[in-house]
Each structure stands twice: as C-alpha cells, then as structure tokens.
Amino acid sequence: MTVAVSRKTPKHETSNERSREVTAGQPLLKVENLRVAFGNTEVVKGISFSAKAGRCLAIVGESGSGKSVTARTLVGLTGDGGRVESDRLELGGTDLRTLDERTWRGIRGNEIGFVLQDALLSLDQLRRVGDEVGEPLKLHGWGDRRSRPERVVELLDSVGVPEPEMRAKQRPYELSGGLRQRALIASAIALDPRLVIADEPTTALDVTVQAQVLDLLAASKERGTAIVLISHDLSVVARLADEVAVMRDGEIVEYGETSKVLRDPQHEYTRTLIDAVPSEHTRGIRLVRGTTPSAPRTRRPIDRGRPLLEGRHLTKVYRGPDGVDRTVVDDVSFELFAGETLGIVGESGSGKTTTARIALAMLEPEGGDVLLRGEPWTTLSVRERRPLRSRVGVVYQDPLSSFDPRWTVERILADALSRGPNPPSGAAARKERVVELLEKVGLGAHQLEAGPLRLSGGQRQRVAIARALAPEPEIIVCDEPVSALDVSVQAQVLDLLTDLQDDLGVSYVFISHDLGVIHHMSDRVLVMKDGKVVERGTADDIFTRPQDPYTQRLLTALPRLEQAS
Amino acid sequence: MTSVAILSPSVGLHSLARFRARPSTVFSLVIVALVLVAAVAPGLLASGTPTQIDLTNALAPPSWAHPFGTDEAGRDLLTRVIYGTRLSLGIGLGATGIAMSLALVFGFAAGLVGGVLDTVITRVLEVFFAFPALLAALLVIAIFGPSVKTSIVAVGIGSMPGYARMVRGQVINVKQAGYIEAAHALGHSRWKVIRRHLFPNAMRPLVAVMTLGVGQSIVWASSLAFLGLGVPPPSPEWGALLDAGRLYITTSWWLEILPGLVIVLVALAVTSLGRTMQHRLEGASR
C-alpha cells in the first residue's frame, strides 16, 4: 500500500500548520512526575517522559501497568474519580494541568489526535463514516459545508481507504476492521495535530492490515507529527517506535532508545518481556527464563508412520443471510503424527477455527472426513464416537466461557477425569488426582474450591489445559489458546504446553493468527487463506523459504523485534 | 446485626447484611414474612374467626376494635383478609407453578429440538399472546365453572406463554455456551449435558422471574374473583372480598380500599424481592 502525502491546498492551511516550524527531535510533550489515582489506588506512580516532533515514543506494558490510563490522561480524559498530579504536563509550551474542559475541547482533535483500539466502539454506528471523520474539522471550524466533505475524501484517500467517496457515505459497521481503524486514524490526523496518541491501534487487526496501519503512522511521523504509541506488543513497538518506555505497576522501569532497550535491556522485567516473545529464535527453548539459562527441550521422537489424525479433503459450506453459499473450508487435508505439533495459521476468516471444529467432530463437514488412527472418526454416529472422545482434547481461546459458571475447579476437573480410561473411584482418590492435575499445570490445591470467575486469565487457561489433559488424550486441539493473554502469561502457558508434550508425548493441533507463536510451537505448518490451504511444510521451510505469495506477504508484514532501528 | 456478623462471619450473614443495605428490600421482607405467617398460622395474627357474624356491628368503619372495619354481616375485615391469605397465596403459587411447568415443557421442546417443532410451538404461543390473557382464563372458567382449582388453572394457563417464551430464549442462549460444547467434547451424553449444564443454567434467571410471577398471579386471581368468576363467596379470598364490597362502595369505602391496598402491597413486596433476586443472580453469573 502506498501512502499518499497530505494534499492540502494552501488556502485550507490550519493555524498550527503554519506554525509547524518545529525541527524533528525537539521535545513537544513534556511529562514530569505524573501521578494518577482512583480513590486510594495509585495506578500511575510518578512517571516522566517526553515526546518529540517527528519521533515515536512507545509506552509498553501488560494489563494493569497503567499505560492506558496514562494515554487517557494525556488527552484530559482520565475518567470519573481520577485524580491527576504532576510537576509538569506541557504541550509545546502550553501547561495542560490547569486547562478547563472547554479549552481541552479546543486542543483535542486540533492539537492532539487520539486513536483507540476498537474503532467500532469509537465511531458512532448511526452516522456516516464521512461525518465521523469530518467531525473534528467541523468542531474546530475548519472550512465550510462544501469544502469539508472534499477534505474528508482526501483524508480517507491519504490513509489508503479505497473508493473514499463511497466509503464516506457508508456506516462504520459496513467497513472491515482494518478500514474502520484507518478511518479512525484519518479522523485523528484530520487537522494535522502535532501529537497523535495511539492506544493499541493495531491489536484487533490481522497482521497484513496491522502493517498498513503501522505504515500510516510512520508516514505521519515522517511529516513531523509526534506519536505516543501505547502497546503490549514489543514487535509492533520495534517496527514503529524510536524510543520506548517500559511500564509496570504504574512505574516506568526502563526508558531509552528502542534499539538499545530491545537489544540490551537493563531491567530484569524488560528482559523477561523480550524473552517472552515467541519467534523463530525461541524454538525448542522455554520462553520464561529461570535462574539458569533454559535447557533446550527434550522432545520425544515423532512417529512418522501412520498419521494419528488425518483430515481428507474437508469442505464446509455456510449459507449467508443473503442466501449465498460461502465455502469457509475448501478441500483442506492435513495429517498429524504422534508427538508432533501441527500449526494452522491464517488471518480472521481463513477457516482455521472451522477446520479445528471439524477435526474435533463438533461440526459435520459437507465433504471429506477425518480419521483417528486410521479409523473413521467424523463419519461415526454420535453414539459410536462418544467413547472415543476422550482421545481428543480441546483448549479454547476464551476459557471462561468454556466453564460452567456454577462449577468449582475441583468439579470441572473431576468431571473430566471421569471420562478417562481409568477414572478415580471414591472421593479421596478423585481429589488426589485433581490436585495432581492442578500441580501438573502449575496450580495447587488452594485453587480447588475457586470458581472460574475468581481465577486470572492465565490461571483459567491452565485449568482449561488441565481439563483437556484429564482423560489422557493423544491429541489436544488448541484454538488460539494464548491470544487473550498478556505476553508474560502467554509465555508461561506456551512453556506449559511444550513441557507437557515432552512429558506425555501428546500431539497438538495448534491454531493461531500469531505467526511468532506458530513458529515457536509447530513442527509442521498449514497456512490458510479464504478456506484453502495455500502452503504447507515444516515450520522452518514455511518461515524461511515461503513459496506462496500470500505466505510471503504475511511474513513481510510481520513485525519483528530485530526491526528496531 | 453487625455484632452478630462479627461473631460468626459466615457467608449467609454477610449476604443478609447486604440485604439490610436497601430499606425497600427490608420492607418487602417484612411484608412477605407477615404474609407467610398469615398463610401458615392465621390464628397468630387474628383473634376472631373470619366467619363470625355480628349483625349489630355491620358495616362499621375502621376503629381500634376493627382496624379494617366490618362488612355487611359484621364480620371483622382484617380477620377475613388474614384468613384469606392462604387461599390467595396458594392461588399465586399454584398458578405460577402450573404456568412454569407448562412453560418448561414447551420452552425446552422448542429451544432444544428446534426446527419444525420450534416453529410450531412459537406460532402457537404467538396465538396465545394474541388472546388477552384474561380472556383465556375466562374460557377455562366458562368450561369448568368457578372454583379455587379452576382459578389456579385459569391463571396458570393465562400466564404460561410469557414464561414459555422466556424459557425458550434461555435454552437457546445456554445451548450455545462454550461449556456445553466443552462437555460434549469430553464425550458426555446429550442427556447428561442437558441435565447437568443446560437445565440449571437456563433455570437460574427464571427463579427470580417466578417470584415476580407469584405477585402477578395474586393480582390476576383477585381480578377474576372481583368479576365474580373466581373463588365463590363467602370465602375470604382477597378478590372475593373486593367483589363482595363492591355493592357498598359508596357508603363503606374500607371494604374496597383496604383489601385492595393489601393486594397491592403484597404484590409490590413480592415483585421487589424478585427483582432483588434477579439482580443478585445475574450479578453472580457474570
């Protein structure tokens, strides 16, 4: 995608456009000792940083680090009950601390653009995209009724929205996620603000779309805009940011040039975060570093004889609300051998989850079948299949919804144990086995009585893995098992999965949209697009010598840690 | 209360302590407790008997001796209201029970089986909805004649469609939950999944709705009785009291107003408790 340079006609120049004679690198936003508290809880504990014109500062952290609160505070939207204190909070010489709401409104959109994670929530569903994008123009008295729509079309065009005239007339829900996010960025940069704050702008997006959005922000940076990027994803940071501040528990633990911080982290936490990013370099080693350098995995040999699970020419067709049939899985074949991990990677709508559900015999395919150890599996009747179900386990993306809200951890796991080949008899034996399972996944007896709601995201996914393991399956289908988790928790869960494979020899069908995770986990990989397998091969072949143009495009779009310039 | 909570800080007491926070809830609890006592042991609340006739004291206005006044036969109205509680509450509970039982059958059949059966049941329910519920109840009474049992059945059938539609929605909702698929993936039988996951989770929000329904049913049964089609006189059922008092409304207002107020208060109290339960259950589920 090419990014057209802003095509402003001179007569439409805004006031700050003319005064934009700042040289790149000059501090624009200065923050010193910023503190934000809600009630008695301090969530931002005295942080200092500055954003410079034409440069991008990334604030990196996991959930609860205070990064989003910081972002909102910078635009005067801390939220109800938030108490803000600072020694300095300045935008190009203006003290932001003493502003009233009216003055803030004059600054937001005009001097500071704000891009949020979820464009669908940020854009009013009932208004046309053009009106939403043009809102800041109208608010700040730019142009008139006739010139504004023209400018909106220009803006949409400049952020790479195809057919901008038509898109401007549509409503947000008629646009894809990527187009919506681009429209939101168009709105944020409509008045060419000196500072753009982007809070997780690409988190909900597919990797190719993410690359386009990052390019847009980079182009805006080239034009002299200062960018504050809030993100949990170090790879994204590496691609865009010049400087990075690592936040944890409301404090900045490390702050410096991106390339320096990522190559040679000084703080232990930064190091943990960087180590936790799965990629080709982490294959075969654990992501969470212990006190000693982690030993390589001790894999059991993969049995390449007869496949354990074999899908043959699977096809699934859904009829859309418009009566048109859509082939969501189109002639997909795969085989999974004992002891290996088969990765299925693809963007949203590629049919990877549907393939998984067919493999689990949860969904009947229109064509093709799946064999389990060479025997029929999907073609069996429900009654014939039931006793075999314990041989194929499943871990879902959202563990919470996969637990009955009324059940305790003990009951969930005891129930799963009862499906295994040797179910425990008697309450004491059952409890012992449940505790054994919990310990296997890094939890303990004190979690027995907990309901799923009281567990953290990582703990829930561990319980989900324990449940899948309980009936001693040969295969576990993992459908995006870590995409809802923070990086460091994701690392723990991925380590747990590889450890269990080394211990028990279980095979995985591992589904993810995250190429790094797939490369880290898989022995062989299927790349899916629009329901078809476009490429298959060993992980190393796919990631180092991709043959299919789509795979090549995916890999080019993939942000990597080592891109830090 | 606080000291008790400190002495034995059990979960039950904590939730009781939270109940106390809302005065409306406390008020509703007191009324419901009184209603229960009146239903189980009316003798504790009233000294006389509901059928004690004292013609010298007929149509006496409220006084210390007769707080609710007396009716045309000189019977103490408060005593009659108290003794009528068991009947009215029985009708409320019975009718809700019947409505819910039928609703469970239809709702689960429609929601679980789906397809043609769902379409048929949904259409039949829509036909029921098109009838005014009172008309449906009148039809039952026209066939079987007015009595306590017919009142219960009539009100039950009349209010069934609403419940059935709710049950169906709940079943369809819970059917799609992740834990249902997870249970199937473990190889549990369909019936076991329904019994252990689908039924209890689908029923959870309905418990509160049923409480709301009891208050509603009492009002309905009273309306039927007021039309002279419910429990026949001289029974002290609340609606029947209203019906009997109708003739004297211009001279003896208390015969209408006071029992009417009792009906309104009880229905309000039960409804308020139902709402509280609903909030608490929904809060706990997510």
Establish if A297 belongs to a structural domain.
Answer: no
Tokens of A393: 């386990």
Same domain assignment for residues A403 and A273: no
* Position B19 pLDDT exceeds 50: no
Beta strands in chain B (DSSP E): none
Please report the domains of chain B, with CATH numbers, ordered by start residue.
22-53+68-255 (1.10.3720.10)
- Please identify which residue in the block is written with the tokens 């909102």: A72
Same domain assignment for residues A367 and A261: no
Q: Which residues of B touch A398 (CB under 8 A)?
A: 178
**Largest interatomic CA distance in chain B:** 77
Q: Which parts of B131-198 fold into alpha helices (H)?
A: 133-144, 148-175, 178-185, 190-193
Give burial (CB, 10 Å; 0-12/13-18/19+) of B127.
Answer: exposed
Nearest to A471 among B177, B179, B186 (CB): B186
User: Do B286 and A405 make contact, defined as CB atoms within 8 angstroms?
Assistant: yes
Same domain assignment for residues A354 and A255: no
Mean pLDDT of chain B: 82
Give burial (CB, 10 Å; 0-12/13-18/19+) of A270.
Answer: buried
- Please identify which residue in the block is written with the tokens 């390449």: A304
Same domain assignment for residues A212 and A328: no
Same domain assignment for residues A390 and A446: yes
Same domain assignment for residues A254 and A341: no
Establish if A290 belongs to a structural domain.
Answer: no
Establish if A291 belongs to a structural domain.
Answer: no
Phi/psi of residue A321, each to 5°? -65, -20
DSSP line for B248-278: GTTT-THHHHHHHHHHHHHHHHHHHHHHHHH
Q: What average pLDDT score do residues B17-40 get?
A: 79
* Position B53 pLDDT exceeds 50: yes
Nearest to B177 among A362, A401, A471 (CB): A401
Same domain assignment for residues A353 and A414: yes
Report whether A227 contacts A236 (CB < 8 A): no
**Largest interatomic CA distance in chain A:** 84
Question: Which pTM was predicted?
Answer: 0.78
Q: Which among A353, A406, A463, A477 is the top mutation candidate for probing chain B, defined by the most B β-carbons within 10 Å of its own β-carbon?
A: A406
Report whether A31 contacts A96 (CB < 8 A): no
Task: Write the DSSP symbol of residue B130.
Answer: H
Same domain assignment for residues A242 and A94: yes
Through-space distance between the first and last CA atoms of chain B, rounded to whole angstroms? 29
Task: Write out pLDDT tens, residues A160-211.
Answer: 888 888 888 888 888 777 788 888 888 888 888 899 999 888 877 788 888 8
Establish if A294 belongs to a structural domain.
Answer: no
- Render the burial of A97-127: b for 16+ CB within 10 Å, e for the rest: eebeeeeeeebbbbbbbbbbbebeebbeeee
Q: Which residues of A touch B185 (CB under 8 A)?
A: 360, 362, 389, 392-394
pLDDT of residue A23: 58
Same domain assignment for residues A326 and A389: yes
Of the residues A277, A293, A327, the one at which a domain ends: A277
**Which of the residues in chain A have pLDDT under 70?**
1-25, 118-121, 290-295, 564-565
Same domain assignment for residues A204 and A96: yes
Same domain assignment for residues A383 and A506: yes
As beta bridge partners, residue A346 has A528
Establish if A371 belongs to a structural domain.
Answer: yes
Establish if A564 belongs to a structural domain.
Answer: no
Among A7-21, B38-52, B56-70, name the one with the lowest average pLDDT.
A7-21
The answer to whether A415 contacts chain B (CB < 8 Å) is yes
Same domain assignment for residues A215 and A358: no
Report whether A249 contacts A45 (CB < 8 A): yes
Report whether A24 contacts A53 (CB < 8 A): yes
Supply the CATH number for residue A16's domain. Answer: 3.40.50.300
Establish if A565 belongs to a structural domain.
Answer: no
pLDDT of residue B5: 36
pLDDT of residue B21: 55
Establish if A388 belongs to a structural domain.
Answer: yes
* Position B9 pLDDT exceeds 60: no
* Position B213 pLDDT exceeds 50: yes
The answer to whether A421 contacts chain B (CB < 8 Å) is no
Q: Give the residue from B218, B229, B213 showing the smallest Cα distance to B265.
A: B218
Q: Which residues of A touch B179 (CB under 8 A)?
A: 401-405
Number of independent structural domains in chain A:
2
Q: What average pLDDT score do residues B174-184 get?
A: 92
Number of Cβ within a 10 Å radius of residue A279: 18
pLDDT of residue A120: 62
pLDDT of residue B151: 82
Q: Give the residue from A15, A16, A14, A8 showing the smallest Cα distance to A151.
A: A8
Among A557-561, B49-53, B65-69, B198-202, name the one with the lowest average pLDDT.
B49-53
Nearest-CA distance B265 → chain A (Å): 34
* Position B207 pLDDT exceeds 90: no
Structural domain boundaries, residue A259: 10-277
Q: Which among B173, B179, B286 is the top mutation candidate for probing chain A, defined by the most A β-carbons within 10 Å of its own β-carbon?
A: B179
User: Do B181 and A416 make contact, defined as CB atoms within 8 angstroms?
Assistant: no
Number of inter-chain CB pairs under 8 A, A vs B? 55
